[in-house]
Structure 1
Amino acid sequence: MDLPDGDACLCGIGVEISNLRRYLDDLETAHQRLALLDAAATRVGTTLDIETTCQELVDLLTPSLADMAAVGIIEEEFTGAPPPPPGFLRLRKTRGSAPPGMEWLLRQMGGPGPYVDVPRGVATRHCLDSGRPWRGNLASDELFQKVTVDPERTKLFRAAGIHSFLIAPLIARGRPVGVILLGRAGASQPFNDDDLVTIQALADRAAISIDSARRYSYEHAMALELQRALLSEPSTPHPAVEVAARYLPAGRSVLVGGDWYDSIPVTQSRTLLVMGDVMGHGFQAAVAMSQYRSLLRTLAASGTSVDKILGEFDRQVTQLGLDRLATCLLAVMDPRAGTCTAASAGHLPPAVLRPDGGIEVLWPPAGPPIGTGLGGYESFTVRMDPGTTLLLYTDGLVERRGTDIDVSVQALQTLSLPTDGPLDDMLDTLLTHLANGAFEDDVAILAARARRP
């Protein structure tokens, strides 16, 4: 531009920066979403509990990617409830997250009860059947009705101010295990393509954790059911001996183990008491426990001495190729003779509660565990005065992290237990003394004493 005096001019330079600003914003958003995907690896699936895993997922998704989120898990077992109608798929309402003032929506979504039966034709079912996410932005009432099973529930979403939905399937090992429902409300932007990609990536990662938790829960329940069925009641002892037992599974972080106990009447007035622990945890350990228990019952019918029973037990387990070692303690109570004869295959020592309240740990010769094929078991006999109680147990009762097991066993001798009254009361008192929160391993206890004449 020429100025009036003709000797000078003015130049202007303009720089358009909107594209640069948009690029920087997109770059920041990409970094945030990568960080979110990275956080999912450490924040989702920290336990093998389904409820906890689903809560971790919705807490990660809100408010970063949605104003509300809810997870439904496909229910394949209908124990205690009628199955869904033909053509319907049952989802168990698991966990949800919403901002203050919107929690009521989570409580009312899907109707009353813990389940919702999903028919074909709704968006949730489409996601599960196709394995692809579904998105409904700035939804009309007609579109809302594709999300909910009950068209009347469209009013709930409107009342909460939700305007957009995104539903992502949870796919693990090629099979749907559940679904995530996300909503945006108020001033939040509708879901875009980047949202869809990020949420589906998070869903894929979370699905593996949820499926692992579900498989764990199923195996844990199966093993626990098998173990409880086998240990519901020990065999009826000789009428001259009274017996009480307890089995307590460990906390959630530990699988069911292979603990077992038994009481088997043998010749004359004698009763064979058994306490064993198959090494390992889970369903396979429970199955192995059932095999060992059955085999030992067969061997006990011979009426031979406890050391010879253990020797034959070890030999047959080795020959059969059962690949799990087990510790085992056998004790024969003979009320008529007033004695107890025991032998150990690597198991913790028994204890006796004397009539005066004193507790003594008995240290038998320790033989090798069952399944090693080494044999070489020895028995020992102690006097059992009238009113004396014999205690057999597995390591879960006394084992404490950071404490030597022998020290923990010796600590039994410092307990004060009732000597009169039912054996069940005595076991309850014992567990109360030793329980400090959940036990770290499964606990099995067997108490026996001669009946009073």
Structure 2
Amino acid sequence: MSRAKQRPEQPDLDDDRGPGPSGLMDLLAVAAVLLEADGRIDMWSPQAEELFGYSRSEAVGQYAAPLLLHPEHQDRAIRLFAEVMETGRGWAGAFPVRTREGGTRLVEFRNMRLTDSLGDHYALGLATDRSTLRQVERNLALSTRLVTQAPIGLSVLDTDLRYVVVNPALAAMHGVPEADHVGRSFREILSGPWFLPAEAAIQKVLSTGVPVVDQQVVGRTAADPGHEHAWAVSIYRLEDHLGHVLGVANVVVDVTDRYQAAKQADRAQRRLRLMATGSARIGTTLEAERTAGELADVLVPALADFVAVDLLDPFLRTGRTDIGEEPALFRALAVKAAHPTDAAEAPARPGTLTTYHADHPAARCIRTHRPVLISHLRGGDLDRIATDSDAARRLAEAGVHTDMAVPLIARGQTIGVMGLARARNPAPFDEDDLALACELASVAALSIDNAVLHQHIRSAAETLQRSLLPRLSPRHPGLEVAARYRPATAFSEVGGDWYDVIALDGDRTALIVGDVMGSGIPAATTMGRLRTATSTLADLDLDPARILTHLDRITHGLDPYIATCVYAVYDPHRARLQVSSAGHLPPVMVRAGRPPELLDLPTGTPLGVGGVPFATTSLDLAPGDALILYTDGLVETRHDPIDARLADLLRLLARPDRSIEETCDRLLRQLRHPAGHDDVALLIARAQPLEA
């Protein structure tokens, strides 16, 4: 009886009764052949049919050697078969086998003796294609070497995200031995919050099968807990040849150097952008307070969470930084915080005066002219950088952890200090931050120095200008007079605009408005010289054209200055007005019951040009009529046509006021821009009945 007839068939197990089969045996296609003691084939597996080409009916009952082997190999095979049957020792090796089609295939064999319950012996032969077996062996060897010797991190996790295989490189990255990985979950090995996205990515790859390539993960592991590292992680799902999901493979490459280089490059670019922004936004005006605010705006929040800018008060008042032996007195110019917090109240408020104790960073900057950097605030450092204990408490509650003070140095003088701190930004200040702050502080300091210098020069020029202008009596024979002078705003220098009212013989009055082209103390000085000359010439009882001719010669000698001027003389007994213009804007005549009009006068050339005669025009000026003389600062702007502005002037004058004083104020209020860049001189004379 053959063994095949006695062996009952075993039913297949359902998938839910145990773990699924491995695909490796299927991949090798292992064939099983059972031989009786005399060498005849008793059992023949389906895999044997695929490997040798003979069907079960063709093979069972045949002697194996003649059926499967070429004649030259049969004797050796029979001898080995007999040895196995006699000794019970197995044999392994390769034989060239003859296939049913007559070809030859090299087959790997494993032979062993089996004994049944009756004591009869059988030979079991397991066979597979030699080339297929070698390919599997090569792949296995390659995989083993790759995992153990690769300089990159490799791991395999099962479907529960537990480590199955970890190579030495990855174990070194994690700071956990290989053996301690196996069986533990991903979260047990990498528990930091930095690795939550990586875990989510692994779960997604496991569920979808879509691989992830080069996902960057930045964090810290037990291998180097004090420093940040970066890894490029690639994840793909592992499946057998039947499509069963085995888990995920994880490939990890340490790219810390590349990450740090990219981080440094990005930081450098941000610093360059910040420098460019600072150069463009700091110092847009000649105002120290605004420049300090612009500096704070540039630095918060790009570099710091808090910025305070203080200037030495003596420098603001006098332009000098010599503080002597006394503690430095600071005036706060700007304070800015990146977010609402009580810590913004810790520095002195803008406009207030304060002094700092000797160990305060601001005081040290003034003494040493060098910056102070405190990367990590510890212990009593907050008391040292704060103005008082309450300020220290506010800074502590805000979480301030790093601080620096930078001197504001312009033209070799330390004119103030800028303080910077961080709270929400966790990174401490470093030398690069300090260098950037010093660069921007230098830009701001020069602008502030220019602003203070300009303000002092402007104040001196304005003082000189006002001292040279006359103090008018509001009433002259047959005239009511009102005048105004407004200097240019702080953005511009004082110019050479002036007005004058001079009493002449015979109850006559000379009315003059002029404008020296230029600005600053030289223009104001030239204006004073022309006004003095005008007063002297007025006593000569010359007509206006002759007066301007003499002034033209005088101005020509004051090269390179030129000036415009209107000179008028009013005779109340004759109710006559004589006017002459030297390149000046036309006066306005306002007559009762008639619309205001620009006087059509020969314009003439500005004083100092020379060679062109001036003309005098005579007009009636009856009681109630008004003459308005003004300089170009009242009507000229940088954007509006002069004709439109003159039309605005006439429109405003068409509405009468109770007094010419009110008219002066209204014209200045409605015509002059608050940020006017030029001086304004305005003179209004209204004729009145001549008193006995």
Give me the TM-score of the superposition, normalised by structure 2.
0.59
**What residue is the counterpart of 1:99 in the other structure?**
338
- What SS class does the counterpart of residue 507 from structure 2 fall into? coil
Deviation at 1:287, TM superposition (A): 2.9
Cross-structure match for 2:636:
399
Change (3 A) 1:417 1:249: farther
Structure 1 residue aligned with 2:681: 444
Question: For 1:268, which of 506, 516, 534 is the aligned residue?
Answer: 506
Alpha-carbon distance between aligned partners in 2 of 1:392 and 1:166, rounded to the nearest angstrom: 57
Deviations 1:199-235 (A, max 9, x none): 1112112222222222233333333333334337346
Distance of aligned partners of 1:175 and 1:355 in 2 relative to their CA distance in 1, 3 Å threshold: same
Counterpart residue number, 2:265: 27
- TM superposition shift of 1:440: 5.3
Equivalence map 1:362-381=2 (5 Å): 362-374=599-611, 376-381=613-618
2:151 maps to which of 4, 7, 14: 14
Code of the aligned partner of 2:272:
L
TM-superposed deviation, 1:417:
3.7
Cα 1:419–1:164 shift into 2, 3 Å: closer
Alpha-carbon distance in structure 1 between the residues aligned to 2:541 and 2:475 = 14
CA gap of 1:78–1:43, structure 2 versus 1, over 3 A, is closer
Name the stretch that deviates more: 195-204 or 155-164: 155-164
Corresponding residue SS for 1:369: coil
CA contact (8 A) 2:569 2:578 kept: yes
Q: Which residue of 1 aligns with 2:625?
A: 388
Whole-Å separation in 1 of the counterparts to 2:517 and 2:336: 41
Instruction: Name which of 275, 279, 293 aligns with 1:37.
Output: 275
Cα separation, 1, equivalents of 2:401 and 2:640: 58
SS at match of 2:476: coil
Q: Which residue of 2 aligns with 1:323?
A: 560
In 2, Cα distance between the equivalents of 1:450 and 1:113? 49
Deviation at 1:143, TM superposition (A): 3.0
Range moving further from structure 2, 322-331 or 245-254: 245-254
Match status 1:131 vs 2:369: yes
- Structure 2 vs 1, CA of residues 420 and 254 (structure 1 numbering), >3 Å: closer, same or farther? closer
Which secondary structure state, in structure 2, belongs to the residue aligned with residue 189 of structure 1? coil
1:366-415: CA deviation from partner (whole Å, max 9, x where unpaired): 22211223352221110111111111011122224455435543554444
Does residue 202 (structure 1) correspond to residue 440 (structure 2)? The answer is yes
Q: In structure 1, what residue type is equivalent to 2:364?
A: H
- Number of the residue aligned with 1:340: 577
Does structure 1 conserve the Cα–Cα contact (< 8 Å) formed by 2:361 and 2:372?
Answer: yes
- Is structure 2 residue 529 aligned with structure 1 residue 291? yes
Amino acid at match of 2:515: D
Match of 1:231 among 469, 479, 483: 469
Contact kept in structure 2, 1:237 and 1:271, CA below 8 Å: no
1:112–1:66 Cα change, 3 Å = closer
Indicate conservation of the 8 Å contact 1:315/1:375, yes or no. no
Structure 1, unmatched stretches of 5+, are none
2:674 and 2:592 map into 1 onto residues whose CA distance is 30
Report the Cα distance in structure 2 between the residues aligned to 1:420 and 1:198, rounded to whole angstroms. 59
Measure the CA separation in 1 of the matches of 2:686 and 2:137.
Answer: 123
Are positions 1:122 and 2:256 aligned together?
no
- Separation in 2 of the partners of 1:78 and 1:401? 32
Contact 1:357 1:416 in 2 (8 A): no
Q: Distance in 2 between matches of 1:288 and 1:325?
A: 9
Maintained 8 Å contact 1:361/1:410: no
Number of residue equivalences: 446
In structure 1, how many angstroms separate the alpha carbons of the residues matched to 2:534 and 2:257?
A: 80
Letter paired with 1:189: A
CA offsets, 1:125-159, max 9 Å, x none? 22123221101233235433443444553223223
Equivalent residue letter for 1:62: V
Separation in 1, partners of 2:385, 2:377: 10
Relative to 1, partners in 2 of residues 1:234 and 1:369: Cα closer, same or farther, differing over 3 Å?
A: farther
The alpha-carbon deviation at position 167 of structure 1 amounts to: 0.5
Cα distance in structure 1, aligned partners of 2:527 and 2:392: 54
Structure 1 contact 328–370 (Cα < 8 Å) conserved: yes
Q: How far off its partner does 1:188 sit?
A: 1.7
- Whole-angstrom CA distance in 2 between matches of 1:332 and 1:183: 67
Offset of residue 432 of structure 1? 4.9
Structure 2 unaligned blocks of 5 or more:
1-135, 153-253
Paired residues of 1:97 and 1:106 also in contact (CA < 8 A): yes
CA spacing shift, 1:362–1:264, aligned 2, 3 Å: same
* 2:185 maps to 1:52: no
The aligned residue for residue 313 of structure 1 is 551
The aligned counterpart of 2:303 is 65
Q: Secondary structure at the match of 2:294?
A: helix
Which residue of the partner structure matches residue 327 of structure 2?
Answer: 88
Q: Deviations over 1:319-373 (max 9, x none)?
A: 3x34211101100111111011111111111111112252122122222211223
Query: Deviation per CA, 1:226-282, whole angstroms, max 9, x where unpaired?
Result: 333433734676343221012233445433322111101111211111100111233
Kindly name which structure, 1 or 2, has the bigger radius of gyration based on alpha carbons: 2
Q: Distance in 1 between matches of 2:649 and 2:401?
A: 64
For 1:190 and 1:93, the matched residues in 2 are separated by 25
Change (3 A) 1:430 1:190: closer
Q: State the distance in 2 between where 1:85 and 1:377 align.
A: 60
Q: In structure 2, what is the Cα distance between the partners aligned to 1:111 and 1:393? A: 42
1:155 aligns to 2:393 (yes or no): yes
SS of equivalent residue, structure 2 residue 667: helix
Which segment drifts farther, 198-207 or 85-94? 85-94
Separation (CA, whole Å) in 2 of partners of 1:187 and 1:437 = 41
Supply the RMSD in Å over aligned alpha carbons.
2.9
Q: What secondary structure, in the 3-state scheme, does the structure 2 residue paired with 1:336 have?
A: coil
| Aligned partner of residue 202 in structure 1, secondary structure | helix
Distance (Å, rounded) in 1 between the aligned partners of 2:606 and 2:369: 50
SS of the equivalent of 2:505 reads: coil
Identity across matched positions, percent: 35
Q: 1:108 to 1:301 in 2, by over 3 A?
A: farther
Contact 2:346 2:392 in 1 (8 A): no
SS at match of 2:145: coil
Q: What letter is aligned with 1:35?
A: R
Contact 2:514–2:566 at 8 Å: present in 1 too?
yes
Q: 1:117 to 1:277 in 2, by over 3 A?
A: same
| 8 Å Cα contact 2:283/2:444 also seen in 1 | yes
**Stretch of structure 1 that moved more, 409-418 or 360-369:** 409-418
CA contact (8 A) 2:335 2:350 kept: no
- Deviation (angstroms), 1:111: 7.2
2:435 match: secondary structure: helix
8 Å Cα contact 1:236/1:263 also seen in 2: no
Q: Is the 8 A contact 1:244 1:423 kept in 2?
A: yes
Superimposed CA distance per residue, residues 21-69 of structure 1 (whole angstroms, 9 cap, x where no aligned partner): 2222222212211221122121222222222221221111111111111
TM-score where L is the length of structure 1: 0.88
1:109, 1:389 → 2: CA distance? 57
Q: Could you say if the C-alpha distance between residues 357 and 74 of structure 1 is closer, same or farther in structure 2, counting changes exceeding 3 Å?
A: farther
Which is worse superposed, 416-425 or 328-337? 416-425
